[in-house]
Amino acid sequence: MRAIFIAVGSELLDLDRIDTNSLYVARRLREKGILMDMKVVVGDHMDHLSWLVKKSCQRAQLVIISGGLGPTEDDITREAVAAALKKKLVFQESIVADLQKIFQRRGMAMPEINTRQAFVIEGAEVIANPAGTAPGLYLTEANCQVLLLPGPPNELVPIFEDVFARHIAPAANYFIYSRTFKLTGISESEADASIADIYRKYRNPLTTILASPGVIELHFLGRSKNSDEEARKLTDELAEKVRDRLSRFIFADKDVSLPEVIVAELKRRQFTLAVAESCSGGGLGNLITNVDGSSEVFLGGVIAYANSLKTGLLGVTAEVLNKYGAVSTQTAQAMAVGVKRLCGAAIGLAITGIAGPGGATPDKPVGLVHIHLHAADDDKGARQLFSGGREAIKLRSEYAALNLVREHLKGLDNQVS
């Protein structure tokens, strides 16, 4: 099945606005083996959109359009699709009644302008919008399914899911099974190099590698014309081979973040954590506290950007700073020990490095970072040399520090077993 996604809205062409609806829809379609041929962003222009819908319906079997269903003059999707398919717009009294109820609940009279939303393309199914005023519309024309969705994501999702379950997924040609691994402590090129000989042998499952600073994602998507079971078997075969190679870097096999994994594991063990941050400047604490419920295990810590705070608060000695420098194993270790004691935490975690672009010395380049973990029964650190700009180096440092915690907790498991 060929699918085309069209996002309508001049604001999406302007400056740096990004259409995120297509990402959601692409992911859901992909789960049923429907791959998008193309996606288009088009402004609120009657003739552009009408032309595009006409051409798309001649080409694809599924055309999904988001946006432009509001009540104002700018909202031209209904008219443009009707024109493209040479259909009439018909006024549907029952929609007006529904709209009036919505406004009544809000304690308002319905503005006259909203009656525009009661015009429906003839032959289309009207799908109620539980979160807003614009209903969705679904119709089939010749060999093409056409779906009109409101633009706001919270309105789009429930309407899409309804039509997806009833009309789109049943028409999909494939059974699909997907798996995901999330990795840290390895670069994209290292991960690719270590498994390329395995996954390149397979066109099915399809393998995708996504990289962001500190985290690599591996996605495997197996398809079968015959059964769910066959799709699963195909996917598992490849995924397990990959897992054998990369298991020590895999921190999750579902869509959770590394901070979420760490916070959950600390909760389970009732361990507390404190951080001492130099070059990351608070970014590590920020990542951890983005996790809902992190306050149960995260005490806080010290942003020791100036050396005076490394000595004054964390107890790094002037001797260590002078002899080894602020970016050194010794300073990182003293920071971890210091913050653990200062905060009364089970684990102290420290980062010190050179995020650049300034601050490098002949023997300490931009990107050099020392991370360190100190706990009652463990003391470990790592020296890293990261590439990228200032923000990427900070992020990579934070993920590397979190990975130390992960390794520490795994080490405890191994001692037990």
Residues that bind a copy of itself (CB under 8 A): 11, 13-18, 23, 26-27, 30, 35-43, 45, 48, 51-52, 55, 59, 208, 210, 219, 275, 277-286, 288-290, 292-295, 298-306, 308-309, 313, 342-344, 355-359, 390-391, 394
Residue 14 CB, nearest approach to a copy of itself (Å): 5
Least distance to a copy of itself, CB of residue 250, Å = 18
| Whether residue 357 has a cis bond before it, omega within 30° of 0 | yes
**Residue partners of 255: CB distance under 8 A and separation at least 6:** 180, 182
Nearer to a copy of itself, 128 or 210 (CB): 210
Query: With respect to a copy of itself, which residue has the nearer C-beta, 210 or 318?
Result: 210
| Separation CA 376–CA 32 (nearest Å) | 50
Q: Which helix (H) or strand (E) holds 139?
A: strand 136-141
Q: CB under 8 Å to 368, separation ≥6 — which residues?
A: 327, 353, 354, 383, 384, 385
- CB-nearer residue toward a copy of itself: 130 or 293: 293
Tokens of 341: 């004691």
- Least Å distance, CB 320 to a copy of itself, is 18
CB of 126 to a copy of itself, least distance (A): 28
Give the nearer residue to a copy of itself in terms of CB position, either 24 or 119: 24
Least CB distance to a copy of itself at residue 415 (A):
28
Nearer to a copy of itself, 30 or 223 (CB): 30
Indicate the residue among 99 and 351 with the shorter CB distance to a copy of itself.
351
Please state whether the peptide bond connecting residue 365 to the residue before it is cis, i.e. omega within 30 degrees of 0: no
> What is each CA distance from 64 to 119, 128, 159, 169, in whole angstroms?
19, 17, 12, 14
Distance between CA atoms of 282 and 319, rounded to whole angstroms? 26
SS3 381: strand
Contact 150, 129 (CB under 8 A): yes
Is 251 in contact with 183 (CB distance < 8 Å)?
A: yes
Q: How far is the CB of 283 from a copy of itself (least distance, A)?
A: 4
